Structure 1
Amino acid sequence: MKKYNYIILGSGLSGLLTAYRMANDSWFDDKSILLIDKEIKNQNDRTWCFWEKPYGEFDSILSKTWEKAFVGNKDFQQSFDMHPYLYKMIRSSDFYKLAFDTISSKSNFTFEKDKILSWKTIENSVEVLGKNQTYSCNLLLNSFFDVNTILNQTKYPYLKQHFIGWFIKTKEEIFDDSEVKFMDFTIVQNGNTRFMYVLPTSKKEALFEYTLFSEDLLEKKEYEKAIEQYLLNRGITDYEIVEKEAGNIPMTCFAFHKQNSERILFIGTAGGWTKASTGFTFFNSTKQSEKLVDFLKTSQNLTKFHQKNRYWFYDLILLEVLHQNNELGAQLFGTLFEKNSVQEIFTFLNEEGTLFSDLKVMMSLPKWLFIKATFRAVWKLKG
């Protein structure tokens, strides 16, 4: 059995980002790296969007950018100029191609198509049992997510960002493709945090995504009925559904790092790389994968990788509020954008603010609600 320096389980976003960065770093040229997944990803199975200043690392594969964004609820509606930020869109198929092209050009990388059954540490190695064969490595980077790790606990609030989206095409030019509807809460809330997310990719094409931050999923027909009604309310009746997508992203501050060991590190959603308060994954994963590759060049003890910061606690408080008062989401996010500039909010959510600017954003939200949520969260953590 060949022993690899590193094995990466899963060729989703986090696994491919990490492999891509290792392939672009000459420090890893003499290290053997194995990537294992049950399939080779080459289809457009998801869409990633994120706000970032121009001239970003992945600008070459962007499929669309927007300069303006709309946020609104029944009491507040406003369009924002996002400068100096752009809202950027990447189709997963373009990212997969970039990553696999880079990885396949390196002789020290191997890809195995296999279904992983289990893994365990044996003395100074990690043994990975696949359906086809068994593999061995010094360090294992594992992106396989088991939702039961969250379900079997009550200390950390857990919501889901769940959605169904329709990519539609119209015969007439009816969309303003310079503006994204970031959160349109003007739809019926039904006791949850519900909004429509609209990405116009051209004057005739757009993605309409019915999204909830809540505990429970809906029947498929409920999402699609909501999209259909939203289009009808805006006079959009003559259209073709070109493509559909669906997702269910965990929103939690669960201490994923406690699963890590000296030789096994959980990455991606399984490692807490998803931004807990928003469900955004791409931008956070780019930052975490960059930190991880730098870390691997200085340490081989994977328990030392995780570092908690104040934003973890901010996310915990916001999730506690939404968990206890899910019907207030439209009001809370509306207030957030009404009382702060979009630039301040993006800096805050990107975890790039100062303590003063962070507190300014937090203090703009209903104080008593967040004070109570803070006490509840601290009480649970101590329990």
Structure 2
Amino acid sequence: MQKHYDYIILGAGLSGYTMALRMARDAFFGNKSIAIIDADFNKGNDRTWCFWETEPDIFEEVVSYRWSKILVQNDTKATPIEIAPYLYKKIEGKDFYAFAKAELSQHSNITFIEAKVEDYQENGNEVKIQTSEGSLTAGKVLNSIYKPEILEQQNQKVVLQQHFVGWFIRTETPVFYPNVASYMDFNIPQNGNCRFMYVLPTSNKEALLEYTLFSKDLLPKAEYEEAIKSYLKNLGVSTYEITAREQGSIPMTTYDFTQHNTDNVLHIGTAGGWTKASTGYTFKHTVKKSKKLIEFLKSAKPFTVYSLKNRWTFYDAVLLEVLDKHNEKGAEIFTRMFKDGKANHIFRFLDEDSSYWDEFKVIWSAPKVIFIKAALRVLFRK
């Protein structure tokens, strides 16, 4: 096994593979030796990613389904929202991993190393990485291995979780609308939290249902599953087959992960703060941030000057502050955003591509008093 590489990527997940693909497609890195280290390159269908976009991007080839309408509701009378020119898209983990590995395997300068990363240390101009299969070194390291204890050991920034359990189900009778993604259905007991059902139908008898919360504390698994059962019962579904299951917990925080970057180690993905703080959405932000990071790497600037802060960081901090202090208001806040039956300005806002007019419309839709108080707390905490 080769012992030294120009770049080593720790973790073959969304951000690790996306960075590797962008490097493989850029001639600048054609003569650079690149290794990807992961404990398991056969993850299977361990997750589902969804995102909106107006034009095909780097992973269009593995998009498995598209929706032209979304539904956000806090009552039973909501009307599906047409989202053109956007489409809401779904990618399954197994397709993503297979696509990435197949393309990267065609590049002789890219090596896959299946091993558990045990530790790494920076020594001068290189990084020594200790793995379960031995040690190796790199000039630069892109680390996507997230350490929850980093957030657990700080108290300066609000930390919530987007946590969920999902069932892929097949019903005996038609019940779903295949062209409408139920983005946030708040027609479920809130129990003092921001709770909603996320429903992605792929036929009138098949869908992924995720019981999702934006809150601090996880629930016993049985509570998520009972909520899904209750939701199906309310839809009139009594007989169904669960074809697959998934669950997850994604940190929502404006904590500055870039402060842990060093001269030769840069954190990416959730470990680097690439998750959208106010929603927990990661896929589209990884696609965008990876593209910018490629240009940053080519500039040869020190990793310590890499920054993600922008005006949307403040907006995220304010919304997190509101959800932290008034978690029960989540349903009202998010349904008010979509109350005029339009989504495009909200998508641009969440993508951090919004104009000031877009931002004004989003802010104007929010409950004024609690948001002003939250904004003041965020400002004075800085």
Band the TM-score falls in, shorter-chain normalisation: over 0.9
Q: In the aligned structure 1, how far is the partner of 2:76 from the partner of 2:181?
A: 20
Q: Which amino acid aligns with 1:188?
A: P
Q: Which amino acid aligns with 2:7?
A: Y
* Equivalent position of 2:9 in the other structure: 8
Q: Which amino acid aligns with 1:333?
A: F
Q: Which amino acid aligns with 1:84?
A: P
Using a 3 Å threshold, how does the CA distance of structure 1 residues 316 and 76 change in structure 2: closer, same or farther?
Answer: farther
Helix, strand or coil: the match of 1:377?
A: helix
The 8 Å contact of residues 7 and 140 in structure 2, kept in 1 or not, is answered as yes
Q: In the aligned structure 2, how far is the partner of 1:2 from the partner of 1:64?
A: 42
Helix, strand or coil: the match of 1:4?
A: strand
Helix, strand or coil: the match of 1:39?
A: coil
The 8 Å contact of residues 81 and 341 in structure 2, kept in 1 or not, is answered as no
Matches within 5 A, 1:49-128: 49-74=50-75, 77-128=78-129
Q: Does 1:253 align with 2:254?
A: yes
Q: Which amino acid aligns with 1:306?
A: S
Q: In the aligned structure 1, how far is the partner of 2:76 from the partner of 2:153?
A: 39
Runs (4+) of structure 1 moved beyond 4 Å? none
Identity value in percent = 46
* Equivalent position of 1:268 in the other structure: 269
Matches within 5 A, 1:338-353: 338-339=339-340, 341-353=342-354
Q: Deviations over 1:208-255 (max 9, x none)?
A: 110000100000100000000000011011110000000100000001
Q: State the Cα distance separating 1:158 from its structure 2 match.
A: 0.5
Q: In the aligned structure 2, how far is the partner of 1:327 from the partner of 1:90?
A: 31
The 8 Å contact of residues 340 and 361 in structure 1, kept in 2 or not, is answered as no
Structure 1: runs of 5+ lacking an equivalent: none
The 8 Å contact of residues 175 and 235 in structure 2, kept in 1 or not, is answered as no
* Equivalent position of 1:156 in the other structure: 157
The 8 Å contact of residues 5 and 139 in structure 2, kept in 1 or not, is answered as yes
TM-score between the two structures when normalised by the length of structure 2:
0.97
The 8 Å contact of residues 262 and 300 in structure 1, kept in 2 or not, is answered as no
Structure 2: runs of 5+ lacking an equivalent: none
Q: State the Cα distance separating 1:4 from its structure 2 match.
A: 0.8
* Equivalent position of 1:136 in the other structure: 137
Indicate the larger mover: 168-177 or 307-316.
168-177
The 8 Å contact of residues 76 and 334 in structure 1, kept in 2 or not, is answered as no
Q: Deviations over 1:177-209 (max 9, x none)?
A: 010100000100000000000000112210111
Q: Deviations over 1:45-67 (max 9, x none)?
A: 00000011143332221110000
* Equivalent position of 2:331 in the other structure: 330
Q: In the aligned structure 2, how far is the partner of 1:232 from the partner of 1:284?
A: 35
* Equivalent position of 1:24 in the other structure: 25
| Count of aligned residue pairs for this structure pair | 381
Indicate the larger mover: 307-316 or 76-85.
76-85
Indicate the larger mover: 279-288 or 165-174.
165-174
* Equivalent position of 1:217 in the other structure: 218
Q: State the Cα distance separating 1:173 from its structure 2 match.
A: 2.8
Q: Does 1:205 align with 2:213?
A: no
Q: In the aligned structure 1, how far is the partner of 2:322 from the partner of 2:169?
A: 35
